[in-house]
A and B are shown apart, each in its own frame.
Chain A
Amino acid sequence: MKVHIRRQRLASLLILILAFALIAGACSSGESVDVGETTTTAASGGDTTTTATATDDGGDTTTTAAAAGDDKSGGMLIAAQGAEPDRFDPHLTSAFASFQVLENIYDTLVQPGDDLSMEPALAESWDISDDNLTWTFKLREGVKWHNGRDFVADDVVYSYTRILDPDFGAANAWRFGSVESVTAPDDMTVEIKLTRPTPNLLVNIGAFKGMAIVPKEIVEDGTIDTNPVGTGPFKFVSSSPDQGIVLERNDDYWRADEGLPYLDGITFLQIPDQTVKLTNLQTGEVDWIDTVPPQQLAGLEGDDNVVLMRVPGGDYHYFALNQTRQPFDDVRVRQAIAMAIDRGEIAEAAQFGAATANQTAIPPGTFWSFDYAPFATADVDGAKALLEEAGVSDLTIEFLVTSDFPETVTQAQVIAAQLEPVGVGVEIRDVDFGTWLDEEGSGNFDAFMLSWIGNIDPDDFYYAQHHTGANFNFQGYSNPDVDELLDAARVETDPSARKALYDDAAAMIVDDASYIYLYNPENINAWGPQVQGYMVRGDNAVRFETTWLER
């Protein structure tokens, strides 16, 4: 009988443990939980046209809080990103997660400054010939590669030749579309000859690290994908699934005389679930995270452990109707849709207000911004009238969206509700991103919905998507007047004249509803109060060059 009782006690104890665990698990913590897995976009890099008006949201986040005489140097920053980098070759990768890391390892000839105007990096100065066809760059002296070798002009020639090589398949070769030749007259000079004047050349070669300068030796020995060697503030140390990606300070960095970088190193961890990533920040396991689930923004306002920064970004969300299919080839139908929706409402639903509604692509507040909003908001009667005029009734639109970018699903749902009073039905086709790309490419859709990580230069906002026959013109738009304007704007060197051309082109693109633009989302990062000297950028580039840890 002793055996009986002992076993009973043991059993009761086990049950208690089990019950406690289950009840603890079952108790709701009352917080909103994001169980959806959102992948960060796989589009190449982030460049945008914006001002750098950084809005603070609690906590001190100014970039250079000059603490009097402090030694800021030291410390290992633990950064958590939401997706996994695929490879480290800057010319081949198009994964945003890769660029979050590579931003700190490599340099380009020029780079976007804090206000997104192009400033010197590996090139100290440049001259343009009178005919606008030759650009001469003077390189910075005393720059060393992470492997100790001196940086020379031949490295630039090598890198650009690699990108231009048609057999290589560089992800960003199109940016060099007007480049005829790249030569190095001497060790510190690079000469680029063009086939036509290219006013946005600096943006093309420096917008982000996809056009980084790489050393020939790591390409030839095949280690560029696994062991990147650059000229940037941090050196690559290791990458493994369990320890993440580890970088250490480059003591020979070309801004070392300013004491940069401060950090001893950075560890990039990959945490796909957004809620878990945020929890890691809140518990102090990590110092910095790249995104915050938008529905939790409001809840974090008063949290002293989390510093949030929101900046208007240059991405834009849109949808496009298939102009090769009836009745979407009729501009009146497209315009009817464009005026029936309420962009503000869509932005609120999809981004929890962390966005600015926009009827054009370029966000407000920058040199290239174009204030143009020809469509009314939620004009049900106007839309109905237009549809009637076009002789369309009983219209149903199938929206091609993808849960891999969950905002597209939310947007489509809101639009469905907004189009109902107009008498237009909406079906939502939610596929994974791979399928989405396939369907988009083969024209198998009524409407597709996504976003572009826009560029600093308007050419990238408009050319490839709206020029007849261009690479990304999947909606089948063709307007010879727009083509003429876009082609002319590509070679116009006077900024005001150029802007006028783009404004005219944009007006037509918007009027024709080639894309129906929705909003520009904000760029948001979050970090602990110990992180100083970091700012969220309009182009979403992640730079830890001037960051330090307060201990």
Chain B
Amino acid sequence: MPTPDLDDERFNNERDDRFETYLKHFRPLAPEPLQIETPRRATRRSFVFAAWAAVVAVILIASVLALLSRTGRSSDGPGNLAGGEQLTNQQPLTIGSANAWLAHAPSVDAALDRVPFHRQSTPLPKGKQSALAVLSEDNDKL
């Protein structure tokens, strides 16, 4: 068995070391970020969800309160008329209800502002007239 040449071996080792160093200058490409759901991220996500839920809840509560206060305000007006009569857009304006309205309103202007006027929502058929128009014509003749 031949004796190894120590000089050659040392030279080879040095050459290998240098080549290894050269190879290490090439850095492997980094992988894409790890697609994991860590507990920390899950906690952050649940916190965001809770925050959004709180915001939605606050908006809902505010809407309900606004609706309730509006209803209460409207019941303070015509609803508290004498005899418990209510003048709403759905009811016709009668002399009695108008009197009651005027009696309890702070001023005439305020009462008139609150009187509901109905608009003729459905147009009359052709050739027909409203009773109010006919009566006004009769008044003119008289």
A is bound by B: no
Interface of B toward A, CB cutoff 8 Å? none
